[in-house]
Amino acid sequence: MTEQPQIPEAIQKYADSIPALPDVMVRVIQLTRDHNTSAKELTRAINQDPALTGNILKLCNSAFYGLPRVVASLSQAIMYLGFYTVRNLVLTCSMRNVFEVNNKIYGYEDNGLWRHSVACAIVCELICEKLRPDMRDAGFTAALLHDIGQMIIAMSIKDTADSIVDLMTENNLTDWQAEQEVIGMSHDVLGGIVADNWNYPDELIHSIRFHHKPYESKSPSFLTSVVHLSDSISLQLGYGLEAEQMKFEPHPSVLQSLAINAEAVEIFTEQAKLKIEERSNLFMDEA
């Protein structure tokens, strides 16, 4: 991304203090994208972080997975659940700490931004499985990270968060419109800049930067469209949401690019509600 707008100083200082991604998570993502990776290599990478290892085993032994025996090692977890599931457990457990889930984020309930991000990732994974199974890995990641800019804004300028909420409620603005008014930058733009500074893949940067305004993109992609749709569905379902003004309908250009209609969106929404109810508490309560 080039010709980036200037980030306000207070926000830049906070953004600089956030580690791009935990090293173990980067390594796990790299390994699980390589079809030649062995279970032993993946186990060795995760074991570098003892706390993460403990959380993964706790999740694997939760009632949700209903495994036939207690899993006592990562190698067993990978054998039972597979690379893809373990990868997403690693991603979710790692990002939960980055998101500082105990903090209040404007427009959301307590822990609401994290709950929304997990719900959005689950929705995106579901839609990718239906439309582009080869993209479910990238879709889960992009959707989980799509609002990283909002977390940064909320944590860096807490004293102006009320002004953003006031504009949303009194002027009926969306969160990104209110952010633009108050600080001169919206969270999608900020998220794209931060992701670029962290050297994320171009397609992931693009999906974060344009998840609210895909129609402004000069090179729309499947990932950007599916994150936009997933964000819309998860907000419409209300997971973690406090301000109704943040809800939005998917843009027609997105439905066209995904070759789906309003009826398909309704079906995805119903299916997503069941998936989220099954899995969101797992990530919220156990990690």
Q: Which two tokens stand for residue 248?
A: 């939005």
Helices (H) and strands (E) in the chain, counts: 15, 0
Q: Indicate the Cα dihedral angle 167, 15, 18, 13, nearest 10°.
A: -120
Q: Which residue has the tokens 């100083």?
A: 9
**pLDDT value at residue 257:** 95
Q: Contacts from 231-234 at CB under 8 Å and sequence distance 24+?
A: 231/120, 231/143, 231/146, 233/123, 233/265, 233/268, 233/269, 233/272, 234/116, 234/119, 234/120, 234/123, 234/272, 234/276
Using CA atoms, how far apart are residues 110 and 95, in angstroms rounded to an integer? 17
C-alpha to C-alpha distances, 99 to 93, 109, 150, 172, 179, nearest whole angstrom: 10, 14, 10, 27, 19
Instruction: Parse the chain into domains and list their residue ranges.
Output: 9-285
In one-letter notation, the amino acid at residue 152 is I
Please work out, in degrees rounded to the nearest 5, the angle formed at the alpha carbon of residue 15 by the alpha carbons of 203 and 185: 70
Distance CA 229, CA 124 (A): 8
CA 234 to chain centre: 11
List of the chain residues with pLDDT < 50: 1-2, 286-287
Q: Is 114 exposed, middle or buried (0-12, 13-18, 19+ CB in 10 A)?
A: buried
What size, in residues, is the chain?
Answer: 287
Domain range 9-285, CATH class = mainly alpha
Task: Give the pLDDT score at 1.
Answer: 47
Cβ atoms of 84 and 137 within 8 Å: the answer is yes
Contact 208, 188 (CB under 8 A): yes
| 160: Cα within 13 Å, side-chain hemisphere | 14
**What's the half-sphere exposure (Cβ side, CA atoms, 13 Å) at 219?**
5
Query: Which residues share a beta bridge with 241?
Result: 108
Q: Is 58 exposed, middle or buried (0-12, 13-18, 19+ CB in 10 A)?
A: middle
Task: Tell me what pLDDT residue 2 has.
Answer: 47
How far is 12 from 16, CA to CA, in rounded Å?
A: 6
